[in-house]
Amino acid sequence: FPSHDNIPPLNCMQLIDFYIATLTNSEKHYPIPDVGECYIDLNRKEVENMSRLGKGKIWYRAKVVRESSNTLVLLSQTPKNGFSKAVDRCQSWIDNNQVEYYDESGISGDRHVFIIPDKSSVTLDQLEDKINRAMNCSLTYTFIFEDNGNAVYCGLDHVVSKSLGYLRTCIIRKFNSALSKCNQNYEVFKAIEDLRASDQFPSIIKMTTSELRSLIIGFGYSEDIAKQATSKAITYLTVSHKSEMDQTLEEITRLKKLIEDPTDYLVSLYEELKSELKSFYDSRKHSVLLSEANFSYKAKIDDGQIEISDNDGIDFNSHVIMISEEGWLKPLSINNQIESKYSMTIN
């Protein structure tokens, strides 16, 4: 994908799927921008149109969670605005003790907590609105692609088509080189087999290299093939290479099919790339469409800490039984969306 400041980073897995769909002439789904964990405040059709047309404006929103009736947690930034922007916007409230702010970021991720100690002066809606206004931003994108030395404004289809065209050319060049080598090897094996089948075979151990080359050239082979064959040890020339000939012929047939249509090979490369990237991709957080975001937060219990998770865990307002290392049982209620500590001490 061409590098340009005005081209958004696209979701890599979705982009690979788009390349595969283009190669296989199947239904294509345009990838959405991926600038890290945040929301894209447009519907899918609007975002896909930006990729399809190669231009458009994308609105980004930070991830803000209401953990309780008086607590908001800011979990992500946006491309233009960092966490400090939200803190600065709320600074007057913080200075007047109307809002308490804590940076609880750690190895598990970013976590900026805003607590309203007294809702008579500031409401949760007012706090959330101020944080969102501080973090919201938009970026205008224009795809520019170099084509024969000229700057071309284009959509993703053109970019992918040109990229795949270049990749096909490189792949076919690679396969043609391999095919040329295989054809040479096959001719060498065939020359050795013809040598072994000739009536002069019993006396080849007495021949000089020059005489052997002349004999092979006399069978109709080129001087280069004769040189390659006679560069082998005499013991190599006296044994059959029929099985290697058959294997080489199979490889020649395979390479010719790939040169004729390298589509399946290219698809396999993209599938392999997708497999290699998956663990890295899954370990990171990504931009999602606000219209498709999952707001069903769950509680995840890990090493004495009740954490909020948007994928794994149990539903809030649930009751669980904890088992200590000593075998004691302790009932535990998860009754609101607040991260907290719990103790397994049994008195």
pLDDT digits (tens, 9 = 90+) for 128-155: 999 999 999 999 988 877 777 777 788 8
Mean pLDDT score of the chain: 86
Q: Which amino acid is at 69?
A: S
Residue 317: which region, alpha, beta or left (left: phi > 0; alpha: psi -120 to 50)? left
Beta pairing class for 38-40 and 287-289: parallel
pLDDT tens per residue, range 217-257:
999 999 999 999 999 998 999 999 999 999 999 999 999 99
Burial of 112 (0-12, 13-18, 19+ CB in 10 A): buried
Q: Quick: pLDDT tens for 166-187.
A: 999 999 999 999 999 999 999 9
User: 63 with 87: CB under 8 angstroms?
Assistant: no
Closest CA to 293 of 62, 82, 79: 62
- SS3 category, 187: helix
